[in-house]
Structure 1
C-alpha cells in the first residue's frame, strides 16, 4: 500500500507501508497528521484512519508503536490494541499513570472548555495592555485639543470627541486582528494558547491562512453574541469545538 501524508502544510509521498510504519514510530507522523491512500474518499488524521482500519479489517494500530499488526497477534485493552512485543511497555505506562498525562501515539488531544477559557483570559490581558497604550495616547490628544479650543474661545468639541472615540475603536479592532494573524501564522497559537501548550489548526491538520484567521476572529463575535453559548459549546462537543471553530473548520488541540 502506498501512503501520502501532510508535513508542514505540504503533501509528501508516496511512501511504502514499511516506510509509513517507520515514520509513525519515529513520531514524524502523529495522530493529528493528515494521511491518505488509494481507496480513501478524503484525507483524514492518522487517528481517524487508524480507527477505521481497526473497525474494518483484521488489523489494528498498536497504541505504543503506532504500527499496524494483525489483531490475532494483539491484545485489546479498554479500546486500545497493543502488539505482543509492546505489551509490557504498555502496561508499565498504565501502572505509572502515563495514560492520564501523556497521549499514546496516534491520539489527538482536543483542548477542552476550561483550558481554552484560561488561554482567552491570558490573551485578554495581553490585548488590554496593548490597547491601554493607545487609549492613553488618544486621551492626551483629546486633552491637547480641548486646551486649544479653550485658549481660542471656541466650543464644539463634541464632533472631534466622537471621531476620536470611533478611531480608537477601529484601532482596537485592528490590534486584535494583527495580534491573531501574527501569532497564529507564526506559532499556530496566540500567547495565551502558547502558554498552556495549545495550538489552532484546520480540521485537516493544516495551518490557518490569514483570511481564515481574520474570519475566525469575527466569528468569535458571533459566539459571544448568543450569550457566549458559542464558546460554551466547546464543553460538550466531541471535538471540543466552539461555534467559531465549526464556522471556520478549525480545531484547538494540545501539543
Structure 2
C-alpha cells in the first residue's frame, strides 16, 4: 500500500510502507504531517492514523534488516554535511537531512533551491545587467513622477511659487538665498523618503519594485529568503556606493557569475528572473 504525505503544502509520494516508516522514525513525518493512502476518505494528521498502522517490520518506525546499506551516507543539499541516508529524505534527486527539511522546502517556495556549491537561482536564472538597468530606469521614472506633487508643495511653501522648475533666485531679495538652500535640503530629504518608502513597500509585499515586476525580476537573499525592512533600506544606501565608483558597482553585474552588483555583495542579495 502506497502512502502520500504533505510538506509545506506540497504533496509527496507515493512511497511504500517501509519507506513511510523510515520517514516517521527520522522525524520527516511528524505528528502534524498530513498523510493519505488508498481507502482513506480525507487527508489526516499522522497522529490520527498511527494507532491503526501495522508496520512492515513489526514495530512502528523500525527499519527492518541490517547491513551496509543502512549505513550509506549522502550529502545534505542544504548544509553540505554527510548524514546516513536512513535519516534523510530524497527530493527530485537531492538528499535533505531531517533537520534541514523545512528550510529546503522554504527555499523551493521562494524560487531558489540549494545545490552542491551553494544556492542557485530559480528555473530562469539570475537577472542580467540590461534587464536590471531598464528596471531601474523605470523605477526612476515612477518615483520621479510621484515626487513632483510633493516638490511643488514644498516650493510653494518655501519659495512662494509651486513652479520650482523655472524659479529664478533673486540674490537681492531678503532671505532669498536662505530659502533656496532650505528648499534644496528639504527637497532632498523628502526625495529620499519617497524612494525608500517605495522600495520598502513593494519589496516587502511583492519581493520586487514595479520596475522589476515589469521586467520579470525578483529580489531575494542569497539563500532565497525575503529581505527585511532594514536590509532593504541598507541596500538603497549601498547603491550610492555603486554610483560613486563611476557606476562600476552596477557594471559588475554584467560580469559576475551570479550577476551581483556591488550593493548586492554588500547586502547579500540576489536578483533572479521570474520569467524568460
Identify the TM-score tier after normalising by the shorter chain: 0.5 to 0.7
- 1:114 counterpart residue number: 130
Q: CA 1:172/1:33 → structure 2, altered by over 3 Å: closer, same or farther?
A: farther
Question: Does residue 140 in structure 1 map to residue 212 in structure 2?
Answer: no
Matched residue, 1:187? 206
The structure with the largest alpha-carbon Rg is 2
Give the TM-score taking structure 2 as reference length. 0.54
CA distance in 2: counterparts of 1:185 and 1:46, whole angstroms? 16
Residue by residue over 1:200-247, the C-alpha shift from the partner in whole angstroms, topping out at 9 and shown as x without a partner, is: 000010000011000000000000001100000000000000000000
* Aligned alpha-carbon RMSD (Å): 3.7
Cα distance change of structure 1 residues 157 and 236 upon mapping to structure 2, 3 Å threshold: same
Question: Aligned runs of 1:25-40 on 2, under 5 Å?
Answer: none
8 Å CA contact 1:184, 1:200 repeated in 2: yes
Q: Structure 2: which 5+ runs fail to align?
A: 1-72, 79-86, 95-100, 163-172
Gaps of 5+ in 1: 7-14, 23-28, 36-44, 53-105, 147-153
- Normalized per residue, the structure richer in helix is 1
Separation in structure 2 between the aligned mates of residue 17 and residue 214 of structure 1, nearest angstrom: 38
**TM-score by structure 1 length?**
0.58
Higher RCO (Cα < 8 Å, 6 or more apart): 1
Decide whether aligned partners of structure 1 residues 204 and 33 sit closer, same or farther in structure 2, where only a CA change above 3 A counts. Answer: farther
State whether residues 5 and 34 of structure 1, in contact with CA within 8 Å, keep that contact through their aligned partners in structure 2. no
The answer (yes or no) to whether the contact 1:3–1:20 under 8 Å persists in 2 is no
For the 8 Å contact 1:239–1:251, the answer to whether it is kept is: yes
Partners of 1:203 and 1:251 within 8 A in 2:
yes
